[in-house]
Amino acid sequence: MTEIDHSQDSEPKSVLTYLSSSKKPLVIFGAGMDTQEIIKRFFPVFHIQANAIWETVIGRVGSNCLGYPVIGLEELVEKYPHADILVPTTLYSTNLVAQLTNVGLIGNVIRMDNRSKADMAKMAQFFQTNVILVKRVYSLLADEKSKKVFMNRINFLVTREIQYIEDMYEPDQYFDADIVKLKNDEIFVDAGAFDGDTALDFAERTNYNYAKMVLLEPDGNNFTRLIQRTLSLKNIECLNKGTWDTKDSLSFNSGERSGSSITSNGQSRIEVDSIDNILHGDPCTYIKLDVEGAETKSLFGAAKTIRTFKPRLAVCVYHRIEDIFLLPLQIKDIYPHYQIYFRHHSPTEYETVCYAINEK
């Protein structure tokens, strides 16, 4: 059997050759793009089967990714204490090392260098081609922290060096006190409400003195949990639909927990509608969009509401590569007087958020 040095990155062929002959259980880290690429590209060729995918993003735990169950740290420790843990180099962070060290599993890690020079060159060329738009967004940003987050994300996408992500992580997603100053009588529209996690956080941060919440979640399982978890909240409207630029019925990939999304080949269909239609001209003070790549359409569908009421916006810009510069420009096109901020709220590549604020 091929020997693996657990203390350093190893090139793909030696890792994959080892895993193809190993008798140990196998858990691979991360349910995102990097891990999926490894599974789809190499596992069939080397006849490798994993037992599970370990994920630190709570919203993904309990879902299914490419046929594998997505588990959390507790289940990893309980069920797979002797497993090989395959970690792509692009995800090997200080936070990850700390978690595995704390539970005594750091010695199980196999680090596979998954950085492709061709892919990185292609990504660099993409941003060079769009450099005018990148510079335009950079010049619009309201503070130095936003500029750092913006450039760190681009540098991460080009180099896949996880340090760029670690260097900009902050807690308090959607409610950074330096940017979002909540008041009494807020009207909150939560598009991509998942299981109510953000709604519950919002309610607590307003001391339950908000005026109304409109919670939109298209995934059936998530919606059931959303209803159950928000039963105690007052003045909420829960809608089992997604946001778009018009009323429609669309193909949907369900059952992915927080990653469920609109797709051309989904196994189900969902109802979608525009925020303008859903609100019927009523006001709102804060719109959050975490809609797995449907942010552009959703912003178009909220344009009248945005122009009329100038609500705060929190828009996720990590689902598509181009979103990091196209979505801020779209927001400024809808209402030019917004101040634009960027923050990143995860130790992984997920949860980069663009905030648009119309407050002094």
DSSP 275-286: HHHHHTT---SE
Q: Report the C-alpha gap between 277 and 95 in whole angstroms.
A: 43
- What average pLDDT score do residues 152-169 get? 91
pLDDT of 5 > 80? The answer is no
Report the chain's mean pLDDT, rounded to a whole number: 91
pLDDT of residue 94: 87
Of 116-120, 202-206, 323-327, give the lowest mean pLDDT range.
116-120
CATH class of the structural domain 131-357: alpha beta
Residue 225, Cβ neighbours under 10 Å: how many?
16
pLDDT of residue 16: 93
Structure tokens at 85: 């843990």
Q: Is there a contact between 192 and 244 (Cβ–Cβ < 8 Å)? A: no
Domain residue ranges in the chain:
12-112, 131-357
Closest residue by Cα to residue 355 from 311, 292, 322, 309: 311
pLDDT tens for 141-159 read 999 999 999 999 999 999 9
Please give the C-alpha separations between residue 95 and each of 92, 102, 112, 219, 343, in angstroms, as whole numbers: 8, 11, 18, 30, 18
Structure tokens at 125: 């060329």
Structure tokens at 274: 């525009």
Encode burial over 255-276: b for 16+ CB neighbours within 10 A, e otherwise: bbbbbbbbeeeeeeebebbbbb
Q: Report the C-alpha gap between 87 and 56 in whole angstroms.
A: 13
Superfamily of domain 12-112: NAD(P)-binding Rossmann-like Domain (3.40.50.720)
pLDDT tens for 228-263 read 999 999 999 999 999 999 998 877 665 554 455 556
Query: What confidence category does residue 8 fall into, taking pLDDT thresholds of 50, 70 and 90?
Result: low
Question: What proportion of the chain, given as a percentage, has pLDDT over 70?
Answer: 92
pLDDT of residue 340: 98
Structure tokens at 305: 């509401």
Of 28-32, 154-158, 255-259, 289-293, give the lowest mean pLDDT range.
255-259
pLDDT of residue 6: 56
Higher pLDDT, 265 or 296: 296
**pTM of this prediction?**
0.85
Q: Report the C-alpha gap between 67 and 63 in whole angstroms.
A: 10
Closest residue by Cα to residue 182 from 201, 162, 159: 201
pLDDT of residue 1: 47
pLDDT of residue 31: 87
| Per-position DSSP letters for 138-195, written without gaps between them | HHHBSSHHHHHHHHHHHHHHHH--THHHHTTB-S-TT--TTT----TT-EEEEES-TT
pLDDT tens for 60-76 read 888 888 899 999 999 99
pLDDT of 109 > 70? The answer is yes
pLDDT of 277 > 50? The answer is yes
